[in-house]
């Protein structure tokens, strides 16, 4: 039932259009059930087995068009699918500083938890100590890179979950990359500076690209596994 | 004439294929049917077709993303179950779906009463 030509074409097109694999499994199973019900109804009307199959396929229509309609409905069912431009072009610009602030807040909370912030003087002394300052340097720049990577990952996941095509993932990634390339952060003893620059920050620029490349590889691996699984 | 309730959008369902006054009708019909008993996709499509005297019809197979959306909104719940040797996903209404059905029914009655008044010329 799950390996008729109709169902194979439907499954293949759903995967090509970017539907999440879990959703493809469920849609294909339900459409296959539906097709079987249509076939049984045709059989009970006196049609032969092959005529009933043709009748069921005719009622369901072209599998490629059905896959497009199903994907479109899936996209329209989420806010991200309905407002892709806002979601994947504007929000990444806001998400990076918001997440960075959250991570910095978390770092400050950790500093508080290990006792530094209980005594303001200890923070000043730590900033003047090269070893301690090195730790602060790593925390700030680590939080910065982590924020960029997590935001890119978040938008990859949202695009995939909303069954959007890969172009939206790439769009969000490019925006994150450009934002990261022209913004900078500098920590010095007793000061933290944030700003925009015309000097490209290549490491920051590459971070979202690396994340999206990994997300794409993961997606490709999942699709290959799924193809192997249904071929058995 | 058969009106196809092809679900293109979910929030503004049928926006592209049907008059805007039919927005929300698929949700109302599906919730109403499920308020009577558990059903699977094919049954829902068939019931809509037969109970509306073939005036309204979902595109075959197009109901599933819609049911998944209602499930994500916690208005319906589903369970895979084997009945008479066939395994299918059965959908049933949740308390939230029942509440939503009440709201949609009230709204539908309000709109149809208004339209009926106008068509019959009561305020003329």
**What residues does each domain of chain B span?**
3-109
pLDDT score of A210: 93
pLDDT score of A191: 80
B47: chain A residues, CB-CB within 8 Å: none
The 10s digit of each residue's pLDDT in A213-227 is 998 898 888 888 888
A27: chain B residues, CB-CB within 8 Å: 64-65
pLDDT score of B2: 43
DSSP state of A184: E
User: Looking at the structure, do residues A24 and A136 belong to the same domain, yes or no?
Assistant: no
| CB atoms A69 and B68 under 8 Å | no
Helix A21-44 vs helix A63-76: crossing angle, to nearest 10: 130
B87 Cβ contact list (under 8 Å, min separation 6): A33, B80, B81
* A230 inside domain: no
| CB atoms B88 and A33 under 8 Å | yes
Higher-confidence residue of A117 and B13: namely A117
Top CATH class of B3-109 equals mainly alpha
Q: Which of A77, A110, A138 is the last residue of a domain?
A: A77
The closest alpha carbon to A163, from A23, A7, A29, belongs to: A23
User: Looking at the structure, do residues A73 and A110 belong to the same domain, yes or no?
Assistant: no
The 10s digit of each residue's pLDDT in A135-163 is 888 888 888 888 889 999 999 999 988 98
Q: Mean pLDDT score of chain A, rounded to an integer?
A: 86
| CB atoms B8 and A61 under 8 Å | no
User: Looking at the structure, do residues A147 and A181 belong to the same domain, yes or no?
Assistant: yes
What mean pLDDT do residues B36-57 have?
A: 90
Higher-confidence residue of A191 and B75: namely B75
pLDDT score of B25: 84
Distance (Å, rounded) from C-alpha B36 to C-alpha A172? 45
A69: chain B residues, CB-CB within 8 Å: 6-8, 59, 61-62
- Compute the radius of gyration of chain B from its Cα atoms: 16
A23: chain B residues, CB-CB within 8 Å: 68
CA A93 to chain centre: 16
* A22 inside domain: yes
| Closest approach of A27 to chain B, Cα-based (Å) | 7
- Which residue from B9, B61, B66 is facing A60, i.e. has the nearest CB? B61
User: Looking at the structure, do residues A213 and A139 belong to the same domain, yes or no?
Assistant: yes
- Which residue from A29, A38, A73 is facing B8, i.e. has the nearest CB? A73
* B16: pLDDT strictly greater than 50: no
User: Looking at the structure, do residues A44 and A156 belong to the same domain, yes or no?
Assistant: no
Q: Mean pLDDT score of chain B, rounded to an integer?
A: 80
| Number of inter-chain CB pairs under 8 A, A vs B | 71
| Closest approach of B70 to chain A, Cα-based (Å) | 9
The whole-model pTM stands at 0.75
HSE value, Cβ hemisphere, 13 Å, CA-based, for A68: 4
B9: chain A residues, CB-CB within 8 Å: 73, 76, 82
* B20: pLDDT strictly greater than 70: no
| CB atoms A74 and B72 under 8 Å | no
Distance (Å, rounded) from C-alpha A226 to C-alpha A22? 10
A30: chain B residues, CB-CB within 8 Å: 41, 64, 89
- Which residue from A26, A33, A76 is facing B9, i.e. has the nearest CB? A76
Distance (Å, rounded) from C-alpha A33 to C-alpha A71? 18
User: Looking at the structure, do residues A22 and A111 belong to the same domain, yes or no?
Assistant: no
Using the structure block, give the residue that is written with the tokens 């009748």.
Answer: A55
State which residue of chain A sits closest to B61, comparing Cα positions.
A31
Q: Which of A54, A77, A100 is the last residue of a domain?
A: A77
* Max CA pair span of chain A: 90
User: Looking at the structure, do residues A31 and A105 belong to the same domain, yes or no?
Assistant: no
Q: What's the ipTM?
A: 0.76
User: Looking at the structure, do residues A99 and A110 belong to the same domain, yes or no?
Assistant: yes
User: Looking at the structure, do residues A183 and A73 belong to the same domain, yes or no?
Assistant: no
* A70 inside domain: yes
- Quote the number of domains for chain A: 2
Tokens describing residue B63: 């109901």
Contact A74, A163 (CB under 8 A): yes
- Which residue from A38, A77, A82 is facing B60, i.e. has the nearest CB? A38
Contact B31, B102 (CB under 8 A): no
User: Looking at the structure, do residues A71 and A143 belong to the same domain, yes or no?
Assistant: no
- The least confident of A73-87, B56-70, B101-115 is B56-70
Reported confidence tier of residue B7, pLDDT bands at 50, 70, 90:
very low
User: Looking at the structure, do residues A51 and A99 belong to the same domain, yes or no?
Assistant: no
Using the structure block, give the residue that is written with the tokens 């043709």.
Answer: A54
Phi/psi for B6 (5° steps) reads -70, 120
Count other Cβ atoms within 10 Å, centred on residue B19.
9
- Which residue from A23, A31, A76 is facing B61, i.e. has the nearest CB? A31
Q: Which of A77, A101, A135 is the last residue of a domain?
A: A77
Q: Domain range for residue A35?
A: 5-77
B59: chain A residues, CB-CB within 8 Å: 61, 69
User: Looking at the structure, do residues A61 and A87 belong to the same domain, yes or no?
Assistant: no
> In degrees to the nearest 10, what's the CA dihedral of A163, A164, A165, A169?
-120
A73: chain B residues, CB-CB within 8 Å: 7-10, 62, 65-66, 69
Tokens describing residue A22: 């879990």
Q: Measured at the alpha carbon of residue A100, what is the angle toward residues A94 and A105, in degrees to the nearest 5?
A: 125
What mean pLDDT do residues B78-100 have?
A: 91
Distance (Å, rounded) from C-alpha B47 to C-alpha B78? 18
- Which residue from B8, B10, B41 is facing A30, i.e. has the nearest CB? B41
């Amino acid at each position: 039932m799950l390996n008729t030509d109709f169902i194979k074409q439907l499954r293949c097109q759903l995967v090509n259009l970017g539907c999440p694999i879990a959703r493809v499994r469920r849609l294909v199973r339900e459409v296959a059930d539906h097709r079987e019900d249509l076939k049984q109804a045709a059989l009970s009307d006196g049609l032969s087995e092959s005529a009933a199959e043709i009748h069921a396929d005719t009622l369901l229509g072209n599998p490629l068009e059905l896959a497009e309609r199903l994907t479109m409905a899936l996209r329209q069912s989420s806010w991200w699918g309905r407002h892709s431009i806002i979601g994947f072009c504007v929000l990444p610009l806001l998400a990076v500083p918001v997440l960075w602030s959250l991570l910095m807040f978390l770092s400050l909370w950790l500093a508080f938890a290990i006792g530094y912030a209980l005594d303001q003087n200890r923070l000043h002394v730590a900033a003047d100590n090269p070893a301690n300052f090195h730790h602060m340097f790593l925390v700030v720049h680590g939080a910065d890179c982590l924020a960029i990577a997590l935001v890119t990952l978040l938008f990859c996941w949202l695009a995939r979950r909303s069954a959007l095509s890969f172009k939206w993932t790439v769009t969000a990634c490019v925006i994150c990359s450009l934002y990261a390339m022209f913004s900078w952060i500098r920590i010095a003893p007793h000061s933290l500076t944030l700003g925009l620059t015309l000097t490209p920050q290549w490491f920051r620029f590459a971070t979202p690209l690396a994340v999206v490349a990994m997300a794409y590889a993961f997606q490709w691996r999942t699709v290959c596994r799924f193809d192997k699984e249904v071929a058995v | 004439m058969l009106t196809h309730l092809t679900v293109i959008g979910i929030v503004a369902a049928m926006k592209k294929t049907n008059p805007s006054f039919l927005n929300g009708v698929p949700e109302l019909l599906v919730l109403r049917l499920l308020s009577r008993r558990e059903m699977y996709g094919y049954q829902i499509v068939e019931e809509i077709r037969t109970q509306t005297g073939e005036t309204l019809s979902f595109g075959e197979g197009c109901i599933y993303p819609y049911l998944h959306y209602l499930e994500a909104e916690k208005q319906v719940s589903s369970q895979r179950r084997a009945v008479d040797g066939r395994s299918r996903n059965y959908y049933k209404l949740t308390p939230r779906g029942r509440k939503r059905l009440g709201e949609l029914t009230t709204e539908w009655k309000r709109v149809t009463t208004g339209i009926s008044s106008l068509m019959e010329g009561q305020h003329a």
